[in-house]
Every structure is written in C-alpha cells, then in structure tokens.
Structure 1
Amino acid sequence: MAKATKKQALGRGLSALLNDPDNDIKSASDRNADQVVGSIVELDLERIEVNPYQPRTNFSEEALEELATSIKELGLIQPITVRKMDFNRYQLVSGERRFRASQRIGLKTIPAYIRLANDQETLEMALVENIQRQDLDPVEIALSYQRLIDEIGLTQERLSDRVGKKRSTITNYLRLLKLDPILQTGMRDGFISMGHGRALVNVENRDKQLSIYEKILADGLSVRQTESLVRESREGAPQTQGSPSATKTAVRLPGYATQGQEELKAFLQAAVKVQAKGSKGKITVPFSSEDEFRRILKRITGV
C-alpha cells in the first residue's frame, strides 16, 4: 500500500502542475516537464478523447464488463497512456479498453502516463532508469518493459541490449501480464513470488488460475509444488494421495473470516480480501486513488 500511496501523492502534485494555465507544459523542453515524463498522473476522464485513428473499433461487451468488474474490485493495475493535445486536453495513445471500462463503472478520474512532444528519448531514459531500481516488484518491471515496447517501439532484442538483460528474462517478465489481475495484485503485494507467477501463466483458464492461487495461499505451496499442480491441471491427471492438489479439496475461509470479510466490505465499501487459515491470516484493503485511501482511512479511524 505504501507504494501505491506514494504514486498517487505524486500524481496529485503533477495534476496541480498540469492545471496551471500560466505554466502550461507542452513539450519535453518546458519547465517541469521532467516531472511529468514517466510518472503517473490522475486525469479527469472527461478531458480525454479517444484516438480517431485507433485501428481497433470493436470491443467485446462481455470482456469490457469483466474488465470493469475487475477495476471496480481491484483498481486499475496498468495506467493508460495519453498524448497532451492542448491545455487540459488529452488523447488516448493506449488503453482504450481500460478507458471504456472505467467510464462504464462511473469513475471520474483515471491514472495515466502523459506523453509530451519530443519526449521520446527522455521517456526511454526514465523507464530504463526505473527498471534498474532494486525495490520494484515483478509486475512493475513487466509493465515498464511493455511500455518500452509499445511506446518507444523497441523490439525485444533491442530492449535486451538497452536494459542489459537476456531476451528470455524479458519474455518471462512480459508473460506475467497475461495473469489474472487478482494474481498480479497478489504478486505485487508479496503473497506469491515471480516463480509462482511463471508457473501459473501456463494455465490459460482464468478460473483455474484463481483456483490454484487459492490453494497456494491456503496451503503455503512452494514454487515446485505449484508447478506440479499446474502440470496436473493441464494434463488432467488424477489426484493421488499426498499430491499438492490432494491436500485440500476445497479452499474455504473459516466461518468467522467469511462473515467478517462481508462485514468489512459493507462497512468500508471496498473490495476487502480476507485470507485465513485457522486463527491466522491477512486482511487486504485495495484502493485506486489517494482520495479513496483517505475515505477508507476515515472510515477506519473515525477521524
């Protein structure tokens, strides 16, 4: 949560900069432009227009509804990218499905990366520098790699040279973005490791991914046990006594945790997640903006 709070606080300060008509930032050479390039900013959805040259015009209603539900419960994991057109006006570069899904659930703002005129080299430097940090989780690294490919136009070979990593390493990170958002959140929060994620990405069915994820949390499965469980899932092998998948036929919260989870959801008006085994466990309360964080905090503290 500390990382998310820091990002949102930064985005709030950048929003103030971008709303200053006397110092409008239009290009990478303008004052304070370096604070915008590569950073996340909360933008009003109404100030963003779709790209009229977007080659994709058909969006699955079912897929949009699923994404909207995910965003409502977990927040937006990957910000959209926009291009600054004029003062307080932006155009989508990437993320139209996320943009549409956010509109669908009535969000007023959305986290976004802002592209400025002539900022290509500056953005690439910012992203590469960010990847070299030691405190990034696997999903953050994967998202940075994906941005370098999508927005800078680097091939995986060129990206490998630029960041000093083997192409196979980059591929392994990028594959993590195929995981269900719940699993990505679990990896970012430290509930599972990248090794678990690499095993789970081989399961194409999202429901099966989540089922195995729940078993990992409930039984504390190692990466090797998870890989075995994934193989059984893909091959349809029967469960044998003593196998990881036979340790628990169904993952269920204790009664007190199930009831408490529902009460917390209703009280905090947030997608609270309780993970419990016996009398021990964790409570996770996700939030998607600084304002939502402060709302939840106020409900908890009463201050």
Structure 2
Amino acid sequence: MAKATKKQALGRGLSALLKDPENDIRTASDKNADKVVGNIVELDIDAIEVNPFQPRTNFNEDTLKELATSIRELGVIQPITVRKIDFNKYQLVSGERRFRASRLVGLSSVPAYIRIANDQESLEMALVENIQRQDLDPIEIALSYQRLIDEIQLTQEQLSDRVGKKRSTIANYLRLLKLDPIIQTGMRDGFVSMGHGRALINIEDKDAQLAIYEKIISNALSVRETEKLVKGLQEKGNKGNAASSSGTLPSYIDDKMNGLTEYLSTKVDVKVSKNGKGKLIIPFHSREDFIRLAKLLKS
C-alpha cells in the first residue's frame, strides 16, 4: 500500500509540474520532458479531450456501467494514454472506456501515460492499439484497417507487420466493407457474425445479399447453413451457362474452390467446357491487389 501511495504522490507531483507555464513541454527534448513523457501522471479529467481518431463508435452502456462500478471501488487500475496538444491540454490516444467510466463516477483526475505525437502518429497509435482489443466488432476492425491504409498510406504487407496479423486475415476483414451497409450494421449489432458476412460477400448482387441476410435473421441460420445457401444460389446462377456442361463444376474442381478462394482472399470463377478444358478468372481491385495476387501465385 505504501508503494502505491508513493507512486500516486509522484504522479501528482508531475501533474503540478505540467501546470507550471514555465515547464510547458512540447517536444521530447524540452526541459523536464524526461520526467513526464512515458511516466504515469495524474491529470485533471477536464484537461483531456476525446480522440477524433478513435475507431470505436459503439460503447455498450451496460458494460460501461460495470466498469464505472469497478473504478468506483478500485480506482483506475490501468492508466489511459494521452498526447499533449497544448498547455495543460491533452487528447486521448487509448483508454476511452476507462475515461468515460471515470467521468460517470465523478472522478476529477485520472492516471495517464503522456506521449508527444503529431496527428498522424496519434492516428496510427490509436488505430493499432485499438485493433488489438478483443471487443471491437468486425466492421470496426475493418474500418480501422482501411483507415491505416488510406490515411497512413500503409500497404497490406506493412499493415500485417504493424498489427501482427496475417495479410490474408486483414484482406478478409477489408472484404466485409463491400457488404451492403444494412448487413454491416447487422454485424455491428451482433445479429450476424463475421462468418456470415464472409459467406455473403461471395454474392455480388446487393439485393441477393439482403434476401439471404433476411433469411439468416428470420430462420436463425448458422454460418454453415448460410454457406450452403450461398453455394446453392451460385450453382443455380451457373445453370445453362455454356461454360459448363451440367451447370455445376466437376468434383475435382469444386473440392478445391473454397481453399483457393481462402488462399487468394478473393472470389475465383471457373469456366469449364464439355471437353474438360477451362480457365480460372481471378479478379483484382487495384495495382496493389494485383501485385499481391501475383506474389501469391508465384509462391
């Protein structure tokens, strides 16, 4: 207990240092910066603003109240992370749930790690740190990946290194953003899972997507049942197509299609003539996507 009290007193001492106009730390090379940056400092809660780069948009009220109750009893165990943006003014980088819960119980200050970062670094820190959390929904994760690609100018390979995920995993999340917005909302609200979404993305027609989505909801279909429904719709669409003599693919091809689609992270079309000859059609969506596919096909 004495150790914790000493640490808290140190945090309050650093807080007083930050409120001194003569010690307005703006960069890591400023006087006394080494005493503050990377240390836990007790900050006035009113001096902190929320992060506009926060990838999370949904905060469950019940779990937030549970966290608030825990904070009321035990305090903020894990400090939030902020960046200094002005004199005695800070912006959240991570820990918004803890920050909101602390406000709910009326805390006047919270323990925080202080970082000095520009907007781009703050965006990257916020997105990467939040992607690691287990309670983000699949669409929030997909949007975070897309923002890192668009706003930080990362390739999927670089993104894979930053977040410690396989490139194919990232590609599967990004494909969810091609779903109809109604289905994306259903996934965010927990009506369907990522597995359902991955099955539905194989249907390009948005009306057909929505029709199957409604069946999933009304009949409580499992992911496997949804996959069968999608496959049946695709086979029905292939009937009468001159590309195949029977409207369905030979078993030696059909058995490999799911694995090929999974490996390439894109829908692969196959056309087979009556004499057994055929061709694979592998779509790509950008120069980067083409280069990615070329590398996979080489390996």
Q: Which has the larger radius of gyration?
A: 2
TM-score (norm 2): 0.43
Comparing both chains, which one has the higher relative contact order based on Cα–Cα distances under 8 Å and sequence gaps of 6 or more?
A: 1
